[in-house]
Amino acid sequence: MNDPTLDRTAEGRTVLLRGGEVHSPADPFATAMVVERGAIAWVGSEGAADSFADGVDEVIELNGALVTPAFTDAHVHTTATGLALTGLDLSGARTLADTLDRVRAHAAGRPGDRVLLGHGWDASGWPEGRPPRRAELDEATGGRPLYLTRVDVHSAVVTTALLDLVPGVSDLAGYHPDAPLTGAAHHAVRAAAQGSVTVRQRADAQRAALAHAASLGIGSLHECAGPEISGEDDLTGLLALAAAEPGPRVFGYWAEAAESAADLEKARALGALGAAGDLFVDGSLGSHTACLHQPYADTPHTGTAYLDRAAVTAHVAACTEAGVQAGFHAIGDAAVGAVVEGVRAAAERVGLARVRAARHRVEHAEMMTPETIAAFAELGLTASVQPAFDAAWGGEEGMYAQRLGAGRARTLNPYAAMLRAGVPLALGSDSPVTPLDPWGTVRAAAFHRTPEHRVSVRAAFTAHTRGGWRAIGRDDAGVLVPGAPADYAVWRTGELVVQVPDTRVAGWSTDPRSGTPGLPDLTPGGQLPVCVRTVVGGRTVHLRPDE
């Protein structure tokens, strides 16, 4: 590729990209594209591109590279992602001893931090079979305040010094003398830990996360904020930073329950698109807080219900009447059922057509049944899902099987059935729970550990590009057609193919007569595409240094 200047220019420039593969439904054989005033102006063949060459401000020679819509990650916690990128990341720790060694080294290297922060431990795969004890963490940190979130962010282990900063924490639900904190106790210590982060540290973490997202071809993020997750200043600071500096677009959600239109004023004032995202109906499977109809396989409990059907009904009705998108975090089958029952009751109150038009959303939606899948389609609910969860925790011996037993675990994340029923899907990562990794996410959906839940690469790709835009009510974006926003990524990759679960369909799709544009080969074990450029609104926000 040539040495471009587009990254230093405004949206008003006219740019011709040519000599590559342009993934566009407008022309399945397109090799060139024109961008003007921040939008796609034309896509077509190489021969036709000659007529544009003299009238544009910039010509970018693709040299065979692939151009696709930029990805949208539909569920992100940006500041936490940045802190994990710049701080103590325990996702690679494979034993308890390794974890304690990493904590010890991190504490030694951060003598000035008021509170030590870390993320990503997962004891379910450790040979010791347990997380660090408080005394072990006290020793490793030299008695300093420490907050370490489990990989799912629904529980945490902490030091005694951090507990001392939260008066009355031992009286809160979810407090355990020497086990991970959950529920209200976890939320209280999280607030204390996050309160130690300075404005500068927070902004630096947000910049790191946004730059990392851009380097992966991500053009938009859905920030899932809320009073029990991050805080008002965190959301407003992120939205202001994203608006002021080149980078991915950030669409914010504020997860606070409402009973009337007046209760939604805070979300509006904060600049949020809706009162959705991580509005917790339950917790997570890894922390035993996802709400189930039947007990866990490895504990006699059924999890935790944070909102009931009545609260769901009130929230959806208030949001629908106010023209605000509602949404919930629901993982367990009992939690998903409560959401369906509540949304259906709200539809009876305010009208099914109005509820469907609002495109309310449900985050995660893992333990689905045929009945709840049909209800999602009936009620127009978007499922904001994370295929990397299955890649990380699925399978016959994974965490899901440990928590639920192999039989129930095999029912999780049934993407194929959801698409067949007409449930809109938007793909994301829930970063830092699983990393920002768009092509890895598409691969995880297409090569689901349970074969009957697999979808085509094309369907997963669409859910991770156009699906994220549709989830915020935009049907005109996430696709490279004239008039769409010029949010795209350029990739260095191998031969383009069509991959679907049914080989008979694949055989027809690769026939040129089908007009089906190809995508990179995502067979597990192969190399994923490398992003060489990411453009948002016609402005380059990432350029790989060696290009």
Which pLDDT does position 154 carry in this prediction? 85
Higher pLDDT, 383 or 512: 383
* pLDDT value of position 511: 52
The DSSP code sequence of 222-263 is EEEE-TTTS-HHHHHHHHHHHHHSSS-EEEEEE----SSGGG
10 is written with which tokens? 């405004």
Confidence band for 2, pLDDT divided at 50, 70 and 90: very low
CB 388 within 8 A of CB 352: no
* Band of pLDDT at residue 195, cut at 50, 70 and 90: confident
pLDDT at residue 520, as a whole number: 95
* Residue located via tokens 């194929």: 416
**Quick one: average pLDDT of 275-283?**
97
| Residues 1 and 545 sit within 8 Å (Cβ to Cβ) | no
Task: Summarize the chain as % helix, strand, coil (round to 5).
Answer: 40, 20, 40
Query: Is 395 exposed, middle or buried, given 0-12, 13-18 or 19+ CB atoms closer than 10 A?
Result: middle
Residue 140 corresponds to which amino acid?
A
Q: Tell whether the model's pLDDT for residue 485 goes beyond 90.
A: yes
Name all domains of the chain by residue range, CATH numbers in brackets: 6-70+480-493+529-543 (2.30.40.10), 78-194 (3.10.310.70)
**Regarding predicted confidence, which is higher, 375 or 4?**
375
Single out the residue of 336, 305, 316 nearest to residue 276, CA to CA.
Answer: 316
pLDDT digits (tens, 9 = 90+) for 285-331: 999 999 999 999 999 999 999 999 999 999 999 999 999 999 999 99
Give ∠ CA 123-196-289 in degrees, rounded to 5. 35
Amino acid at 116: L
**What's the mean pLDDT in 228-232?**
88
pLDDT at 301: 96
Q: How far apart are CA 138 and CA 122, in angstroms?
A: 19
Measured at the CA of 212, the angle between CA 210 and CA 214, to 5 degrees, comes to 70
User: Which range among 90-94, 228-232, 385-389 has the greatest average pLDDT?
Assistant: 385-389
Whether 91 shows a pLDDT value over 70: the answer reads yes
pLDDT at residue 508 above 70? no
pLDDT for 492 beyond 80: yes
**Region 153-175: what's the mean pLDDT?**
93
Partners of residue 426 on adjacent β-strands: 384
- Report the mean per-residue pLDDT for the chain: 93
pLDDT at position 509 over 80: no
Query: Backbone phi, then psi, for 164, in 5-degree steps?
Result: -65, -20
Q: What is the per-residue pLDDT for 515?
A: 62
What per-residue confidence (pLDDT) applies to 7? 42
Of the pLDDT bands very low, low, confident and very high (cuts 50, 70, 90), residue 499 is confident
Backbone angles phi, psi at 44, to 5 degrees: 180, -160
pLDDT exceeds cutoff 90 at 230: no
Mean pLDDT is lowest, of 2-6, 61-65, 483-487, 518-522, for: 2-6
Query: 35 near 475, Cβ under 8 Å?
Result: no
Mean of pLDDT values over 174-182: 91
Report yes or no: 347 and 295 within 8 Å, Cβ to Cβ: no
pTM score over 0.85: yes
pLDDT bucket at 369, cuts 50 / 70 / 90: very high
Burial class (CB in 10 A: 0-12, 13-18, 19+), 168: exposed
Question: Residue 6: what pLDDT?
Answer: 34
The per-residue pLDDT for 3 is: 33
Q: Write the pLDDT tens digit of every residue in 3-12.
A: 333 343 446 7
Confidence of residue 87 (pLDDT cuts 50, 70, 90): confident
pLDDT above 90 covers a percentage of the chain that reads: 82
